[in-house]
Structure 1
């Protein structure tokens, strides 16, 4: 008996005249276990429905992109580098299969248990709480305990309380309803399945190296790709070529889909090596030549400039630096080009 195709497999299978044109290679892979925390560059990872997954050592524990977040103890509102720029200096890493470690300059390292609902965490019973995301929409997480709360509060606001750290509940996913429904109406390929754990929206953000290079030529002080907090940096294509990609294949397995351009905010003004937020740049310069022009998109994204693309996953698999990157294209030229490469 033939196995039924998943919705994602069906979508790929139904691509018209599917041909894949090689456009470049993976230059860098980044993930951020703590939302707005220090980015980690890795040589290989696994693309899952909730974002990048990396088996960290020691302990072979699996860390996922944006699986932890900081939230306000009183209001439950999520907090990011936009509120506390030095959050980008906080490193979260694995200790063993049940513990992770927080580190930052000037702070003693803190090891705490990866929480599970109803189980003890550093002397307290862990509890599921509702964090409030962008539009106040609730998203469940498991609180990481008082020691983690004290550590992050001391580092970011200089007190022993006020902020807490949450861990993504298994299976939790943001639903595109309420204010988010407007985004799905404008960007009609955006699905609930495209949202990440605690990412601002989608599970993946891809950009090209040449896009960063073009921006840097306009700046007095160049910035690294990491400042834009991508998951995937592609080398080879011309600047901003990713704007026009829809279906993207990485290596021989993974397929992702461009669901919307990535609007840029004050987060890109933060130097990832110092945690200092610049007064204007590179946001000011990016705005001078990358502002939205489509009125429907401006209605939901505002006039924020865009750089890179948000993507949803359609086919899982392993990805590593150096993997070829392809885009789906239907022209006869694509057929000729892909044949010539073999």
Structure 2
């Protein structure tokens, strides 16, 4: 039987993730996952490793009372409290424009210094979460600052298959999943519509379209000269003009996930 091999949370969008043994989960995904984001101070446009690879060297932890702890080589650690909802900043994430609380001036100075340009740190409370990408899911499905969906699942067998085709071992961290499945065939997740992990049910909404971010070394931030693994994905995992790897999910209900839990395919 397939089981949950790993859990990953990304407190700040596009920054270093955390490996977890267990985590609460609900309709917005893992507790504390991508609730924080960096945006351009002038335009409010989100920042990511696609254009700012250095974000992959920015350490984050969920601190006390859901706050954020920032760390980076050469910088003092900074603890940021969840901001009051009264002071809102307009932000843009892909095609969504909305208003969320700003984390304040001390956080802005820290992240601006790290990024190298005027930058703001923002937070999304549950009540300001966005609707998942149009045409997928159900009316009540929401997402925080993830690109389009609250959870991403990848099978270890799928990564092993890709690594064999590329000709070198690839790190799962390149693909930034929340859930990793073991003991399933390569790309078995492509055929799943509903699964159960432990006692929680999940709907599989759509494959995940991959981008240039997968070519960044998760440890150094350097881009691979051969554009791998994206080049290989485009050769054998192309769909509607995109290279697909992994599946986007939403959780029906709330509970706790733990590494080692069995996974049952319901549909």
Q: TM-score range by the shorter chain?
A: over 0.9
Please, which of 150, 175, 180 is the counterpart of residue 228 of structure 1? 175
Between the aligned partners of 2:128 and 2:15, the Cα distance in structure 1 is 21
1:1-342 equivalences under 5 Å are: 23-53=1-31, 64-97=32-65, 99-118=67-86, 127-135=87-95, 137-157=96-116, 159=117, 162-175=118-131, 180-181=133-134, 184=135, 187=136, 190-251=137-198, 253-279=199-225, 280-292=227-239, 298=240, 303-329=241-267
**What SS does the aligned partner of 1:258 have?**
strand
RMSD: 1.6
**Structure having the larger proportion of residues in strand:** 2
- Structure 1 portions without partners, runs of 5+: 1-22, 54-63, 119-126, 293-297, 330-342
**What SS does the aligned partner of 2:131 have?**
coil
Between the aligned partners of 1:110 and 1:47, the Cα distance in structure 2 is 26
Rg comparison, structure with higher value: 1
Between the aligned partners of 2:139 and 2:224, the Cα distance in structure 1 is 34
TM-score by length of 1: 0.74
1:212 CA drift (Å): 0.4
1:98 CA drift (Å): 6.8
Map Cα deviations across residues 276-314 of structure 1 (whole Å, 9 max, x no partner): 22241111111111000xxxxx2xxxx111011001111
Between the aligned partners of 1:170 and 1:95, the Cα distance in structure 2 is 18
Map Cα deviations across residues 69-91 of structure 1 (whole Å, 9 max, x no partner): 01111111111111211212212
1:25 CA drift (Å): 0.6
Contact 1:206 1:309 (C-alpha < 8 Å) held by counterparts: yes
- Structure 2 portions without partners, runs of 5+: none
1:232 CA drift (Å): 0.3
Between the aligned partners of 2:149 and 2:109, the Cα distance in structure 1 is 30
Between the aligned partners of 1:26 and 1:98, the Cα distance in structure 2 is 25
Q: 1:192 to 1:105 in 2, by over 3 A?
A: farther
Contact 1:255 1:316 (C-alpha < 8 Å) held by counterparts: no
Of the structure 1 ranges 64-73 and 103-112, higher mean CA displacement relative to structure 2 is found in 103-112
Contact 2:102 2:123 (C-alpha < 8 Å) held by counterparts: yes
1:99 CA drift (Å): 4.5
TM-score by length of 2: 0.94
